[in-house]
Amino acid sequence: MEIFNLDLSRIPSLLGYQPGAPMIFSSGLFFFLFILFVLIYIPLRKYSYARIFYVTLFSLYFYYKSSGIWFLLLMFTASSDFCIGRLLSLSSNNLERKLLVALSLCVNLGMLGYFKYTNFLCQAFTGLGVEIGQIFGIEQLQKLSYQPMDIFLPVGISFFTFQSLSYIIDIYRGRIQSLKRWIDYVFYVSFFPQLVAGPIVRARDFIPQIYKTPSVSKAEFGEGLFLIVCGLFKKAVISDYISLNFVDRIFDAPLLYTGVENLLGIYGYALQIYCDFSGYSDMAIGIALLLGFRFNINFDSPYQSATITEFWRRWHISLSSWLKDYLYISLGGNRKGKVRTYLNLLITMLLGGLWHGASVRFLIWGAIHGISLAVHKFVMGRFSSFKQSGELMNPLRRVIGVLITFHVVCFGWIFFRADSMQRVGEMLTQIATNFHPEVFLQFLSGYKVVSFMMITGYLMHFMPRKAEMKMQLAVTKSPLVIQALILIIAVFIVFQVKSAGVQPFIYFQF
């Protein structure tokens, strides 16, 4: 078995940066390194500075394994905002404080803009120039062309820039005090469980935990283990398997499949992206809990939502709450009239879509959600029978709301996943004109494992909260030996699935 066949001659290359194999939680290398990390971490728990320094070093190494020399970019961001935060705390001049916040915005958004949006913006302006040249007959503009630059996108740059910005804005708003030690701030920004894929951790929630001596009760250990095992199963088994063996095939060539297969591919992607994001978040929250740090929940069964507003209170909660607190409210929120509220919702979601990726498709995805949120808010204002969430509805209305909300979200996922607008058009055309429902039974027989994975994934997702809590309680109350055995079995299953040809998959465009 791969996990036990360790070739010692490969150790130097395994420990170095490998561009094609970034280290993620579901990899065997991380499993072994984390065990070694914990063996040293445990005796250092009572020594605050040594513990902070040690975890920071490991976190920077973890990021180095993901982005190579660009870990220096992370240190630059941390150093820049640490200094700006200290200056903010020492200044009482309102104009000076605003300029310092503007400086932080320029540094963080400038880096994010260069690495993530340079090619997108240059291509957009080139295309605009060509259009203007064709309209006004300017030959020089008509000949414009742009060759995209080869710009490396550091892993997780969207997450740590947003996290660092929230720290500066919270100091400006008087919600927190600036840190006095540079190493403490680097610890906060680089903490490896949430570094490359979230959740986005607020300074006011995390920083107070830095100075407490980490302690993990038996119940917390069981909870952390439960989250890690669930995350592994969702991320490395369900998401990776249906991605490689079904979803990718549909989105790569939708015209080769009937409409019902395209629709099932969309349902499969909805499950895949949920299991990928929430699975990684579960593992991050569980690993942090084992180290004595508690993060807030990041996904709360979002497809159980009966309205689009409820969906964004359950989906990627750390991001949606960040967009609300630092973008929507900064734009004016709902304080400047109804029309401005709808416009603020649309702008927030457009920018949220652009945050996910530099493409018109992501803007359309953001627009779908922004318009849906605005429409829902408008309807609630006109009709008192429309509610914000399903818990306020009668059972029948809630079921109808869940079905409608799920399909609005799935419609958005088409633009999020398809690699071009042409693919989007092909998928929608096949569903509308070449549906063939009789193929459904052939799909079940031809894709037995994929069908099993999808059914299992959705059953897990729609499991009642009480049943999920009972499962977690059973793990939490079980003896440590049983808990360790559960983890070993989970790791074994993951490596068996990978050895069968399933490769790890994660959305590193962030």
Residues labelled catalytic: 356
Rounded Cα distance between 193 and 298, Å, is 13
- Asked whether the beta carbons of 279 and 444 are under 8 A apart, the reply is no
Cα-based angle 120, 375, 328 (whole degrees, multiple of 5): 55
Please, which residues have CB within 8 angstroms of residue 438's CB and are 6 or more apart in sequence? none
Rounded Cα distance between 501 and 245, Å, is 10
What's the alpha-carbon Rg for the chain, to the nearest Å? 24
> How far is CA 446 from each of CA 246, 266, 452, 454, rounded to the nearest angstrom?
11, 18, 12, 14
- Asked whether the beta carbons of 171 and 89 are under 8 A apart, the reply is yes
- Within 13 Å of residue 502, how many CA atoms lie on the same side as its CB? 25
**SS3 track for 344-401:** HHHHHHHHHHHHHCCCHHHHHHHHHHHHHHHHHHHHHHHCCCCCCCHHHCCHHHHHHH
> How far is CA 5 from each of CA 1, 332, 390, 448, 500, rounded to the nearest angstrom?
6, 58, 51, 31, 16
Would you state the structure tokens that stand for residue 156, as one six-digit string?
């997780």
- Asked whether the beta carbons of 92 and 119 are under 8 A apart, the reply is no
Rounded Cα distance between 358 and 420, Å, is 12
Give the phi and the psi of residue 462 in degrees, each rounded to 5: -95, 10
Rounded Cα distance between 324 and 154, Å, is 25
Rounded Cα distance between 358 and 353, Å, is 9
| Element at 110 (helix H, strand E) | helix 94-136
Rounded Cα distance between 463 and 455, Å, is 12
CB neighbours of residue 3 within 10 Å: 15
- Asked whether the beta carbons of 224 and 400 are under 8 A apart, the reply is no
Query: DSSP readout, 32-101?
Result: HHHHHHHHHHHHHTT-HHHHHHHHHHHHHHHHHHHHGGGHHHHHHHHHHHHHHHHHHHH---HHHHHHHH
Rounded Cα distance between 460 and 449, Å, is 16
